[in-house]
Amino acid sequence: MPPQVISNRYELVQPLSHGGMGDVYRGFDRVLDRPVAVKLIRQAVVGSSPELAEEFAKRFRREARITARIQHPGVPQVFDAVLDASHENLYLVMELVDGVPLHDYIDPAAPLPISWAAAVGAQVCTVLSHAHAVPVIHRDLKPSNIMVARDGTVKVLDFGIAAIMRTDVTKLTATGSPVGTSHYMSPEQVQAARITPQSDLYALGCVLHELLSGKTLFDGSSDFARMLQHVQAAPTPLRELRPDVPEELEELVLHLLRKRPERRPVDTQEVHERLFPFVPPAGSTPEPHEAGQPGVPDPTRVYRQPYAPRPRPTATAAPAPTTVNPNAHPLPVPVPAQLQEDIKAAMAHADALLDDERFAQAAEVLYEVIPPAAAALGPDNRKVLDLRQQRAAVLFLGGDFRSALPEFDALAQAFSRTEGPASEYARSCRVQAAHCRAELGQVTAALEQFEAVLRQVRSVDSDVSEEAIELRRAIGFLLLSEGRFAEARHVLEPLYSDLCVVHGSDDEDSLEIADALARIRLAHDEEHRRSPEE
């Protein structure tokens, strides 16, 4: 079944989440070849007639323009708002955040380290300060609307949704109930009173209380009971639930949770100033008690290493060739008819995407069919390996060398098991892995891998075979790009001589090597012309 396409541009690939307002899908932008998040606003929210739906969409576009003025890395951008042809559904196209929802951090048995909770709160404050200046009030701040990206940046989601859910503009639910989530609603939201930036501060107090204690602020048995508690009940001080919480932090949370908005902190700047002493300083190393939960992004990283570059790629050596076990060679397995159709459809879809240079989406289309193929046919089945190899090649063509490298390494090992370490397929994957390493700056490992494959080729074929010539060329040009002129010349001069014999001096490949050697001689002469003082 072909994917649903919105506005002749956005493909809905797979559902991500389900909520009261609508469903969120992972999608693809056909024009920019990038993944996006697409949120479907339910028809009941949009309106019961084409006229109401059109008015709703127009208002959203106006509000989205205001929301787009929140220029902050902690605010995922809204790219587009699309009302479908039936006037029943409104789709919001947004930045897709790669991260972990804040609710996944909350564990009643293991509350977060103080520094992690403070780092989340401080980052949320910076986001809200930019939003409140627009002004945009979020109205539904809660752990499921907060994500921590892989680099530790906190992202506050659904500002675009908040902008169109203004209860002072229109009634958006059948019951007319106020917008919000009962665990995090301010008293004024419960009472349908005027909403101000202090309403977001109350919700932030609820979130901080939960991060530090592992428990929601109020635990009434129903939405109504919890809403009543927000209006009438006193919050439990944090130190009664967790004695190691600093007094100043407990006081801040209680200040945020005051019933009357005017008695809460003046603004997010004040809250940020009071949280900042609990945020780790730049250059600090986490203490054991600050390690947090394994496998989740660290929200303190942006404070410990502000504006840090990406970690350097690890220059891992190429995996050593493995010996083939003749008994491990997979027996032919018949391909189920449906799987065969799915593979054929995926290949055709990927080919069409490649024609449009939509490499990222083509790789994803191929990836979707690989797990079921491996489950049905076995991970080392030739058809499965061919699919994986094609996907790795697509990643390489799209410039995603970081993702292609481990796949080519794994494929080289798989082909070594099934076809033999010196097989054409294993060698090809090692060469592609070496090219990835070169592109990622892992020059030493790349050279070692190219040379190892060249030795294998020389043991079974001529030094002037097409494969050997290409490897010699790759080694020579990689050395040349690194300014290792003497070593490059040592590789390229005999290669040029061989090419002249095999193809002639006027051949395109011969001329390319001749030009490289001329550049090496020029660099050598220039070096010798320099005076000793230089």
Q: Just list the catalytic residues.
A: 140
DSSP 88-133: S-EEEEEEPP-EEEGGGG--TTSPPPHHHHHHHHHHHHHHHHHHHT
Q: How far apart are CA 130 and CA 118, in angstroms?
A: 19
C-alpha pair distances (Å), 456 with each of 253, 428, 429: 67, 12, 13
Q: How far apart are CA 450 and CA 91, in angstroms?
A: 49
Q: How far apart are CA 305 and CA 279, in angstroms?
A: 12
Omega before residue 135 within 30° of 0, cis: yes
- Helix ranges (H only) for 356-484 are 359-377, 382-397, 401-419, 424-439, 443-460, 466-481
The backbone region for 209, taken as left when phi is positive above 0, alpha when psi lies in -120 to 50, beta otherwise, is alpha
- Note whether 160 and 77 are within 8 A (CB): no
- Closest by CA position to 76, among listed 37, 48, 104: 37
**SS3 readout for 451-471:** HHHHHHHHHHCCCCCHHHHHH
Q: How far apart are CA 419 and CA 48, in angstroms?
A: 62
Q: How far apart are CA 227 and CA 183, in angstroms?
A: 8
Query: Tokens in use for 441?
Result: 């700056």
Q: How far apart are CA 70 and CA 127, in angstroms?
A: 8
Residues 6+ apart with CB under 8 A from 340: none
The dihedral through the CA atoms of 204, 210, 211, 212 has a sign that is positive
Q: How far apart are CA 339 and CA 376, in angstroms?
A: 8
Residues 6+ apart with CB under 8 A from 524: 485
| Residue whose pair of structure tokens reads 């006037």 in the numeric block | 87
For helices 382-397 and 359-377, what crossing angle results, to 10°? 170
